[in-house]
């Protein structure tokens, strides 16, 4: 890559778009995961009887499948982040890199 003035790069419209999209994606997914996780923790802390109810009269409580869903959602959100990065952000980086090299 050819050395460019960093300020010139910061002013480039593609760079600005890249930064905005990445920040929006990152903050949206972070807030969503924090809401899910802390919602689960708050339910456990303040209304544990909700998660302590037995499933179908067995020994397993409702809290176990809910906890598994929280874990699976974290994997799902990670997969979504990777997919968005590969399909949306990486092409912007490639385009910006190509334009800066010219």
pLDDT in tens, 31-68: 999 999 999 999 999 999 999 999 988 889 999 999 99
Instruction: Give one word for 53, left, alpha or beta, with left for phi > 0 and alpha for psi -120 to 50.
Output: beta
Name the nearest CA neighbour of 21 among 75, 76, 96, 72: 96
* SS3 state of residue 60: coil
Cα end-to-end distance, the chain, whole Å: 9
Q: What angle do CA 5, 13, 23 make, to 5 degrees?
A: 100
The pLDDT of residue 64 is 95
Residues 1-22: what's their mean pLDDT? 79
Q: Report phi then psi at 61, rounded to 5.
A: -95, 170
Residues 78-102: what's their mean pLDDT? 91
The pLDDT of residue 57 is 84
Q: How confident is the model at residue 1 (pLDDT cuts 50, 70, 90)?
A: very low
């Amino acid at each position: 890559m050819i050395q460019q003035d960093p300020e010139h790069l910061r002013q480039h419209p593609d760079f600005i778009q890249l930064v905005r999209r990445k920040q929006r994606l990152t903050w949206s997914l972070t807030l969503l995961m924090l809401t899910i996780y802390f919602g689960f923790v708050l339910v456990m802390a303040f209304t544990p009887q909700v998660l302590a109810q037995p499933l179908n009269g067995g020994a397993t409580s409702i809290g176990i499948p809910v906890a598994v869903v929280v874990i699976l959602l974290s994997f799902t959100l990670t997969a979504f982040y990777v997919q968005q990065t590969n399909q949306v952000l990486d092409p912007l980086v490639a385009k910006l890199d190509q334009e800066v090299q010219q």
